[in-house]
Amino acid sequence: MTELSYAAIRRRKTRIKAALTGGVGLVLCLMFVLFGQATSNNQTRSNTLAISGPWEFTSLEPSKQGYIYTRMNILETLLNVDTKGALIPGLARTWQSSADEKTWTLTLQPNVLFQDGSPLNASAVVSALRIAQGKHGVLKKAPIKAIRVKNPQQVEMVLSQPHTVLPALLAHYSTAILAPSAYNQEGVVSRLIGSGAYQLDTFAPPHKLTVKANPTYWGVKPSIEYAQYLTGHRAESRILQAKSGEADIVYTLDAAMLEQLSRADNVVVHSDAIPRTLLLKLNAGHPFLGSVEARQALSLAINRPAIAEQVLHVAEAASDQIFASSMGAWYLDQPQENYSLEKAASLLAGLGWQKDDQGWLVRDGKRFQLTLTTYADRPELTTVSTALQDQWKRLGVDLKVDVTNSSMIPSRHADNTLEVALIARNLGVIADPVSLIANEYTQGGGDWGAMNWHSTQVDQALERLTTQSDPVQAKRDAQLVATAIYQEKPVISVANYQQHNAVNTRIKGYQFDPFLRDYFINKMELVDHVDAH
Amino acid sequence: MWTLIKHRIFQLILVVWGVGTLTFVLMRSLPGDMAYRIAASRYGQDSVDSDAAELVRQELGLDASWWQSYLHWLVDLMQFNLGASLVSGLPVIETVQHQLGHSVLLAFTSVLLASLIAILVGVLSAFRQGTLDHSFLWLSTLLRSMPVFVIGLMLILVFAVAWPILPVAGFGTWQHLVLPTVALALSLAAVSNRVVRNNTLKVIRAPFYQFAAIKGLSPSQTFVQHGIRNISVPVIVFIGIQLVTVIEGIVMIESLFSWPGIGHGLAHAIFARDIPVIQGCALMMGVLFVLLNTCVDLLCHWIDPRGAQA
């Protein structure tokens, strides 16, 4: 029986008040703790550059998400890359090899301090490079015998065989130089201390990090006090961040949505070519794909201009070669292959393929059926896959599309179950693509390149490119490799990538790095106050 | 009441073991090589290759048998250690704390706002039958038929783009909390206001309620003394269920507003096969589910002790 008295009612009211106060208090505490963690107190709109991009980060390790930290100017590499792909000085002022090209000497910039105040010297660089060598990254694969201190300002790298791309590897984010105090005893990065123009201020993985200007920076001193990077997962959110003026720079906008920004007078859209190619990786060991004619037929049946215009919304992106025009010696200066279903059908007819009543190609009672593996990390891959499915259907090829995780491409390559894969390959991940191409197109191919495809000429050319530094021969070899890939089609190029970025008009000095290593924050200024908020 | 609490503690232990074991078995049963999946999440799509997968396999001992890994997890769990993420290397408890904190905050504020809207609209609809009730029914149907993602986008377009008073996305200030909260609250209130309305109608048409009015109590006295308590129990149960659902399933809102919640974190962990994080998230959600249900039961028991006797 419920107790009914004024005292009981009073008690109940007190309990209700206490419960409500407790609840509200809990929510307020939670807000205080969470908001307090994520925001730096001194940040204001007028002293902070807000950047938005689709990339998440979970670790401080340069071998994992080092690209975020080099882009945000926290970490620096020994060498840098200019917009044309040429190596330029970074933390190393000069770099030169011995006559036998087995020993490289790097001379460091003078008077460089890490963000903790310690000096950048040969000993710190050697320590950082040795740690990088032990982790996944480009140094691990290089034929490095020893990394040692030559004198306080010079580092010596001794190789077991000549490796011409070594300087380019030293511009890769996984070789960024951190202060000795950044590592714990196991060599794991416990604090992000580099030598860049900005130092880490707040770190809230996987979405947000804030950097603060480093007053002791040795290079171009930053004028913007803070910069903040926020992961915007959805393209819709990112474009609205640009439109509203909330983000000053928004990287990687969806081309189909750019129209939305055409009427925004506070935003300028920059579209730049990047050395990433949309390509089909073919298993040349597959019974249907073994002959060059079959692969050429599949290439001829791709209507690239239609895909570029209707699916990618960038008409000039269509490309039948994997190397973009920005890749110098690797680019083949020739007209594009024309879409020709008749020619493709005739090539396949020559191989014994005939159409059945339903329009599918059949040979020896077997239908020309393939499974295309792709992944959803990049939304355009799935739509291009279905466009290819439709285009190849017109040829009589039955293409099944399997959308899965990106790791299934190397995994299925390793167990030889891959038939066709649609991938977006960044050929500029290392400034000089030689080592990447050598890994992926020699000895039968590699995880993200050819598969069961052998070319002695290409193997020899890439061997020369890796070990010899004669520029004339190097150009000849690069053209030889590019031509062989173009003609024999172990991979088929569909389009080159363009990156669309939105930049607020209050930013002065915006620059774009096609190799995606640097946001050049220290070279930008905020022209106040064209402020949307 | 103590029996209920004892039962729930026992349930909690069972849920922790059950959820952890189930997620372990399910994740291990998925096709594909774990090492490649983890390597792809660690190093990014451009850097994942067979060497990276081999490195991951060696480092994490992925060749160990399933029962060894399971036993290892169980021993750690008994020491309240959820392990470290296979992708980031960070302790799972840190990741879960960060994400769950944001999810709970968003869930609490949105359910609180949804309850305020629902109670106001529901009670008003019940007392003012006719055009007003029909209008709210249409509005509720319209809001419920729209995915919460669309409501969020509309709010952004109005309050962040056309009339820029609130941020589009992000977290860290109270302003960032407003739009996701309102988007979720509108979607939740679209259903809960009908629950409130129906229960209010049921109560105000009940003989005991009409008797209270006949015996001379004013409408407000009748409602306060005899209405609120009787309407509350089913409404609180419904809101409790909504709260749990919101904490677990607001991935779209988290993605749209770049809100670092547990739904989004769990989805990423599943893609990456980050088993310790999946187990940690699922486990915390299971614990939260039991705790919230216990709170709802205790609250209902307090409001209407007859429930316990039944």
pLDDT tens digits, one per residue of B123-151: 999 988 889 999 999 999 999 899 888 99
Residue A151 has pLDDT above 50, yes or no: yes
Residue B82 has pLDDT above 90, yes or no: no
Among candidates A413, A422, A416, which has minimal Cα distance to A440?
Answer: A413
Residues 6+ apart with CB under 8 A from A473: A464
Binned at pLDDT 50, 70 and 90, residue A533 comes out as very low
Using left for φ > 0, alpha for ψ between -120 and 50, and beta otherwise, residue A141 falls in alpha
pLDDT tens digits, one per residue of A438-449: 999 998 999 999
What is the residue whose two structure tokens read 């409501």? Answer: B151
Tell me the C-alpha distance between B23 and B26, whole Å: 5
Q: Which residues pair with A138 in a beta bridge?
A: none
Q: Using CA coordinates, name the residue in chain B closest to A228.
A: B170
pLDDT at B293: 84
pLDDT at B300: 82
Binned at pLDDT 50, 70 and 90, residue B19 comes out as confident
- A34–chain B Cβ distance below 8 A for any pair: yes
pLDDT at B61: 83
Tokens of A193: 């201390």
A9 to chain B nearest CA, in Å?
A: 11
The dihedrals phi and psi of A528, each to the nearest 5 degrees, come to -75, 150
Residue A204 has pLDDT above 50, yes or no: yes
pLDDT at A532: 42
Binned at pLDDT 50, 70 and 90, residue A105 comes out as very high
Q: Determine how many CB atoms are found less than 10 A away from the CB of residue B121.
A: 22
pLDDT at A230: 93
What is the pTM assigned to this prediction? 0.83
Binned at pLDDT 50, 70 and 90, residue A111 comes out as very high
Residue A308 CA from chain centroid, whole number = 21
Best residue of A3, A209, A407, A448 to probe chain B, by most B CBs closer than 10 Å: A407
Q: What is the mean pLDDT of residues A131-137?
A: 93
Long-range contacts of B208-217 (CB under 8 A, 24+ apart): none
pLDDT at B310: 46
| A95-104, A410-419, B41-50, range with the lowest pLDDT | B41-50
Using left for φ > 0, alpha for ψ between -120 and 50, and beta otherwise, residue A444 falls in left
Strand A92-97 to A361-363 pairing:
unpaired
Q: How far is CA A374 from CA A148, A157, A404, A448, B166, in A?
A: 43, 39, 6, 12, 38
Tell me the C-alpha distance between B236 and B196, whole Å: 10
| DSSP class of B226 | I
ipTM, 2 decimals? 0.78
Cβ burial of A14 (10 Å; 0-12, 13-18, 19+) is: exposed
Average pLDDT in chain A = 90
Contact at CB, A205 and B88, closer than 8 angstroms: yes
Q: Which helix (H) or strand (E) holds B152?
A: helix B148-156
Binned at pLDDT 50, 70 and 90, residue A397 comes out as very high
Of A109 and B279, the one with more pLDDT: A109
Residue A40 has pLDDT above 70, yes or no: no
- A188–chain B Cβ distance below 8 A for any pair: yes
Contact at CB, B256 and A404, closer than 8 angstroms: no
Residue B279 has pLDDT above 90, yes or no: no
Contact at CB, B47 and A429, closer than 8 angstroms: yes
A466 to chain B nearest CA, in Å?
A: 20
Contact A229, A68 (CB under 8 A): yes
Contact pairs from chain A to chain B, CB under 8 Å: 166
Of A28 and A480, the one with more pLDDT: A480
Residue B158 CA from chain centroid, whole number = 26
Q: What is the mean pLDDT of residues A302-330?
A: 89
Residue A43 has pLDDT above 90, yes or no: no
Binned at pLDDT 50, 70 and 90, residue A36 comes out as low
Residue A191 CA from chain centroid, whole number = 24
pLDDT at B249: 62
Average pLDDT in chain B = 86
A307 to chain B nearest CA, in Å?
A: 23
pLDDT at B308: 54
Tell me the C-alpha distance between A115 and A187, whole Å: 19
- A457–chain B Cβ distance below 8 A for any pair: no
Tokens of A132: 């990088």
Q: What is the mean pLDDT of residues A475-502?
A: 94
- A21–chain B Cβ distance below 8 A for any pair: no
Nearest to A2 among B174, B258, B305 (CB): B305
pLDDT tens digits, one per residue of A50-62: 999 988 898 999 9
Q: Which residues in chain B have their CB less than 8 angstroms from residue A59's CB?
A: 42, 87-90
- A528–chain B Cβ distance below 8 A for any pair: no
Tell me the C-alpha distance between A308 and A496, whole Å: 9
Among candidates B4, B10, B95, which has minimal Cα distance to B284?
Answer: B95
Tell me the C-alpha distance between B96 and B88, whole Å: 13
Residue A26 has pLDDT above 60, yes or no: yes
pLDDT at B301: 80
Contact at CB, A446 and B49, closer than 8 angstroms: yes
Contact A323, A331 (CB under 8 A): yes
pLDDT tens digits, one per residue of B197-254: 999 999 999 999 999 888 888 988 898 888 888 888 888 888 888 887 787 667 888 8
Residues 6+ apart with CB under 8 A from A209: A57, A68, A72, A200, A201, A202, A203, A228, A229
Binned at pLDDT 50, 70 and 90, residue A69 comes out as very high
pLDDT at B1: 67
**What residues 292-311 of chain A have any CB closer than 8 A to a CB of chain B?**
none
Contact A200, A225 (CB under 8 A): no
pLDDT at B248: 66
| DSSP codes joined into one string, A286-312 | STTT-SHHHHHHHHHT--HHHIIIIIS
Binned at pLDDT 50, 70 and 90, residue A530 comes out as very low
Residue A293 has pLDDT above 70, yes or no: yes
Tell me the C-alpha distance between A454 and A440, whole Å: 11
What is the residue whose two structure tokens read 């803070």? Answer: A226
